[in-house]
Structure 1
């Protein structure tokens, strides 16, 4: 299984970032606007339309406010396995770290997922950073354990 890890530093209050992450149905307006064009809730799932035209059904697995951790899975005919977790923690200077991990099969989809996650990370920083004057720092850590 391929594991892709992203550590994203965002110049924003961790509580504000967590509030956007946990708003499962508003990923297109609060977390990654422009990268995700639309999101519709369907029970415990959301149907997400990405800017590249792809559509995914993402099932909410867990939303833990105490740990600021959200877990979801993608349900798809193309993807055998997809589970993801997003966790928000405080960093120095009032910034935060968003740790995003995706485990995916088949292996050959990992490079595509990695590139998509990089684009999403940039969209997050742009949407959530406190000030347009501050250049957010992206520190992706992409590891594929195969």
Structure 2
């Protein structure tokens, strides 16, 4: 099983970062706009459409407000590996800064490269989005 670990600092408060991560039905607006073009909730599953046309169905395994952690598993769609489980977690790095940790486990191992590329691209968009000052409409 391949393990992808992405960690980066965000110049935004942990509460603001967590609010965006926790809003699991608005990923395409609040977390990775442009990289994800649509997100739709269907009971305990979200359907995520990426800019490259990949569509995944993600079972929402856990949303833990105390730990500021969301866990999900890909259970279908156009990219359906044998196993894909991921979590995103937000940690305080002082009052105005956050540490974002995104961990993904995937099989088969040959999917690690393409998924790691998507994680890298997504992380860049997440950081940029979360560090952009909010407009009055946000």
TM score, norm. by length of structure 2:
0.91
* Larger deviation, residues 54-63 vs 75-84: 75-84
For the aligned residues, what is the CA RMSD?
1.5
Deviations 1:3-26 (A, max 9, x none): 000002111011000001010100
User: Displacement, 1:46?
Assistant: 0.7
| CA distance, structure 1, for counterparts of residue 60 and residue 123 of structure 2 | 20
- The corresponding residue for 2:99 is 97
- The corresponding residue for 1:67 is 67
The equivalent position to 2:88 in structure 1, one of 86, 103, 106, is 86
SS of the residue corresponding to residue 124 of structure 2 reads helix
Gaps of 5+ in 2: 134-138
User: Displacement, 1:93?
Assistant: 6.2
| CA distance, structure 1, for counterparts of residue 127 and residue 101 of structure 2 | 13
User: Displacement, 1:92?
Assistant: 3.6
Q: Check the 8 A contact 1:11/1:130 in 2, yes or no.
A: no
* Larger deviation, residues 84-93 vs 105-114: 84-93
TM score, norm. by length of structure 1:
0.86
Gaps of 5+ in 1: 132-146
Deviations 1:5-60 (A, max 9, x none): 00021110110000010101000000110110000111101110001110000110
Query: How many aligned positions are there?
Result: 132
- The corresponding residue for 2:4 is 4
If asked which structure has higher relative contact order (CA below 8 Å, sep 6+), I would say: 1
| CA distance, structure 2, for counterparts of residue 75 and residue 130 of structure 1 | 32
SS of the residue corresponding to residue 25 of structure 1 reads coil
Moved over 2 A (4+): none
